[in-house]
Structure 1
Amino acid sequence: MPSKRPPNRSKPSVASQANRNAVPPDDDPEASLANPAVISLALQQLTLNVFRKAFPDTFNPELANTLQSVKRALFERDFMTAFGDAAHLQAYAARWSPSRALAYTLVFCEALNTIGLYSKVPAPAPSNEPEAMRIVCLGGGAGAELVALGAAVKSLRDEGQDARRSIEMTAVDIAAWGPIMETLFQGLVTPPPISKYAAAHVVAANVPLIGPTDLRYSFIQRNLLDTSPEEVANLVSGADLVTIFFTLNELYSTSMAKTNTLLMRIKKNMAPGSHILVVDSAGSYATITLNGGEKNYPMHWLLDHIMLKEKDGDKKAEGEASKSKSGEPSWTKLQSEESTWFRIPEGLKYPPELENMRYQLHLYQNSKDVPQP
């Protein structure tokens, strides 16, 4: 069970309907268009440069063969082969994570503004350091979320947001992404290489994307569907935000029952005021087998069914109530986009072709004891 699949995979499944190279289809007039201009072109190029610096030896004639091996293994659902080799992991991160990192930067900026983890208020006095935001990225090992969070911090601070609040990110993934993440993290917090003959003003301007204390991360190699109730509680109980990017549909494809159990454990253990953000391929469906027959349901319908359950349904599934004292479900859906396009702007430079991304987005809040407007 992998965390991600590459864009435009050839496997004929519903998830592959989101061809990220195509223009919005005529039969999808409801698809909205994300605005990448919210993130400056210069920052988007700096984001791509992090990947270029991290994997300088990857872009060679062998890359195409390696990527074909990865795609073939994913097509056959041979995840040990796809993600069990260091060269495969590096090729995947170099080829597919950059496009997603650009889209995720926009997603993070908008989400952090929506839920108020950053706010346009004066920074507190030095004696009153703001607490770090804790963000848990499930299936976030391939580096896109890590780099996107770094770019989002830079973008939000450039806009005048709270300049002192840091982020503590925890990524959980089934494959051994630790070395990849460390390489990318160093690319975020160290200046790009420049000529030793560079002019003084060039040297002075050559700064890292973020500082080493702006974003800290940890990585846990774990199969999400095998996590115990205690592991889930330890992972998410202190989180301000839990993200599940291009992972939930794969989890559903592996085990509907285990995925629903995981989601219920997550929402049970998160604190009031915390949030869950899900991004996945637009048009994703999952198959449920009942009484010997199969039926496809939209992924977002299944997600809502679990996240917005009332007390009795949760009690049957988890043995715990998740409804507030007022009788309303304790989780509220703040935002839902069933089909949005992120388009790569012209002018960006990266060795492999960058790809547009069509996605759905769903943002939930644990609204128990949280005043509602």
Structure 2
Amino acid sequence: MVKKPPSASKSNAKPPSRRAATATASAKSPKPASAADETGPEQPLSPEGLRAHQTLLNIFNDAFAPALHLKSFTQRLQDVKQALYNRDFGAAFGREDFLEVYAARWSPTRALCYAHVLRGIEGHLAALLVSHDGQRASGNGDAADGVGLTRECPGQIPDAEEIPDDGAEKPALRVLAIGGGAAETVAFGSYLSSLPTTTGEIHLLDTGPWGGIAQRLSAHLTTAPPISKYASAAAKAANAALVSPEDRLRVAFSQEDILALDDAALARLLGPEPLLVTLLFTLNELYTGAGIAATTSFLRRLSAAVPAGSLLLVIDSPGSYSEAAVGRGGDREKKRYPMQWLLDHTLLQEPRSGRKRQRQRQEGVPAANDNDDGDADEKADGGTDDKADADAARTDCAVWEKLESADSVWFRLADGLRYPIRLEDMRYQMHLYRACPQIDNRT
């Protein structure tokens, strides 16, 4: 579960598009769509929105300036690309300098995109804004194209210092970013900047060692950027951190495999209060890397542990770049399932009995306890796995409702943005779900 560019989602995937370009790319940022495909006219960014996007690019530039200006940057970038192509994630993410190269190259566009998506769903995120006394808070800010989320739950994020109590009851947002890294950190900070009276905490969880990178970016989000000593008094007065004061933003990181966590550990991560859970360019890697069975099992455990009212945001590559194969033989013999179909099939289905599960297996639908070759685990006597059937029929899981969905959306960099190296536009699919009360609590 590592952060990879879309081109690395499959070993035979196409390289990133070369048409787009630099950070001065020619297209405008589209609004997240709920239709199957984003085909409407593009709307230009406002001057405020353009400044907000440039601010985020400046944060990446300042945080990774030493790496970006090294003569060896291009060679290191090629080394990272080759490691990703070979699916050698230990090599790609096992070194600090490679992490810096990855974050400097691919995370800026993703951070802008994630911030854009979060701002587009702020109406749903507002429901997670709750003050410490449990009262709902309004939390809409005026920052252009900002982004953020979360809700405070003291003690649920390890290694993060407690937010000092200044006597004021500030609403809070809380997020668990599964597979999260540099892009999620900056996007969250951007959204939080649009909510000046809100505190936020983001817990990143990934198998790669992203903790140092995330803390470095957090420092740049909460510290005024460097400014020339010759700058005017007005420029110095206007020079401020994106998120201020710095104790409004808490960032924590755990180097863990989400699939390896037991139910108790997952419940501790989620906490007792509603939060936003994100799987940003991560879910398809779980399906293709760990398999459909393990990933489906994780999603069901998530459904069993997540507090009612929580949101799940999934962003990934669109179309054939996000498919998982089931069956024996070569690629042509295997049956391919779109990630979105697998996700909806797991989250939106009512818990099913063993009989329903058997019928679905006969129809070729993969179940949580199915092996990746399409065969179900069976006992030696040829019977079905009773424990798996019981798990499939459990009734203590949250019921998810889909709030928004887009099969294919372009995020294009606006004219006038500046960055030291070439950046590219990106295309993505997006799905937003809300956890309804658990079945055994419904009347």
Give the TM bin, normalised by the shorter chain: 0.7 to 0.9
CA separation of 1:353/1:199 partners in 2, compared to 1, >3 Å: closer, same or farther? same
Q: Would you say the 8 A contact 1:73–1:82 is kept in 2?
A: yes
Specify the alignment match of 1:289 in structure 2.
326
Match of 2:395 among 303, 311, 321: 321
TM superposition shift of 1:307: 0.9
TM superposition shift of 1:240: 1.0
Task: Give me the whole-angstrom Cα distance separating, in 1, the residues matched to 2:428 and 2:18.
Answer: 9
Specify the alignment match of 2:183 in structure 1.
144
Question: Scaled by the length of structure 1, what TM-score is found?
Answer: 0.85
1:70-118 CA-partner distances (Å, limit 9, x unpaired): 1111111111101101110010001110111111111111223234245
Q: Aligned runs of 1:1-373 on 2, under 5 Å?
A: 2-9=1-8, 13=12, 16=14, 19=17, 21=19, 30-32=37-39, 37=45, 40-59=49-68, 60-116=70-126, 117=128, 120=138, 129-141=169-181, 143-154=182-193, 156-157=194-195, 163-211=196-244, 212-238=246-272, 239-255=274-290, 256-283=292-319, 284-290=321-327, 294-312=334-352, 316-317=390-391, 320-322=394-396, 330-368=399-437
Task: Give me the whole-angstrom Cα distance separating, in 2, the residues matched to 1:369 and 1:264.
Answer: 12
TM superposition shift of 1:5: 1.5
Q: Would you say the 8 A contact 2:324–2:339 is kept in 1?
A: no
Task: Give me the whole-angstrom Cα distance separating, in 2, the residues matched to 1:130 and 1:67.
Answer: 42
RMSD across aligned C-alpha pairs, in angstroms? 2.9
* Percentage of pairs with the same residue: 38
CA separation of 1:354/1:100 partners in 2, compared to 1, >3 Å: closer, same or farther? same
Question: Scaled by the length of structure 2, what TM-score is found?
Answer: 0.72
Q: Would you say the 8 A contact 2:139–2:198 is kept in 1?
A: no
TM superposition shift of 1:17: 8.3
CA separation of 1:219/1:83 partners in 2, compared to 1, >3 Å: closer, same or farther? same
Task: Give me the whole-angstrom Cα distance separating, in 1, the residues matched to 2:113 and 2:96.
Answer: 25
Task: Give me the whole-angstrom Cα distance separating, in 2, the residues matched to 1:10 and 1:276.
Answer: 21
Q: Would you say the 8 A contact 2:186–2:221 is kept in 1?
A: yes
TM superposition shift of 1:365: 0.5
Secondary structure, aligned partner of 2:57: helix
TM superposition shift of 1:13: 4.1
Task: Give me the whole-angstrom Cα distance separating, in 2, the residues matched to 1:334 and 1:272.
Answer: 15
TM superposition shift of 1:312: 2.0
Task: Give me the whole-angstrom Cα distance separating, in 1, the residues matched to 2:303 and 2:323.
Answer: 21
Structure ID, larger Rg: 2
CA separation of 1:128/1:85 partners in 2, compared to 1, >3 Å: closer, same or farther? closer
TM superposition shift of 1:12: 5.1
Q: Would you say the 8 A contact 1:35–1:342 is kept in 2?
A: no
TM superposition shift of 1:218: 0.5
1:217-239 CA-partner distances (Å, limit 9, x unpaired): 10001122222222211112345
The size of the alignment, in residue pairs, is 350
Specify the alignment match of 1:326 in structure 2.
none
CA separation of 1:222/1:319 partners in 2, compared to 1, >3 Å: closer, same or farther? farther
Q: Would you say the 8 A contact 1:131–1:166 is kept in 2?
A: yes
Structure 1 unaligned residues grouped into runs of 5+? 24-28, 158-162, 324-328
CA separation of 1:10/1:67 partners in 2, compared to 1, >3 Å: closer, same or farther? farther
CA separation of 1:97/1:36 partners in 2, compared to 1, >3 Å: closer, same or farther? farther
Q: Would you say the 8 A contact 2:279–2:315 is kept in 1?
A: yes
Task: Give me the whole-angstrom Cα distance separating, in 2, the residues matched to 1:114 and 1:257.
Answer: 30
Q: Would you say the 8 A contact 1:70–1:82 is kept in 2?
A: yes
Q: Would you say the 8 A contact 1:51–1:98 is kept in 2?
A: yes
The 10-residue stretch of structure 1 (36-45 or 217-226) with the greater mean CA deviation from structure 2: 36-45
Query: Counterpart amino acid of 1:83?
Result: F
The 10-residue stretch of structure 1 (295-304 or 107-116) with the greater mean CA deviation from structure 2: 107-116
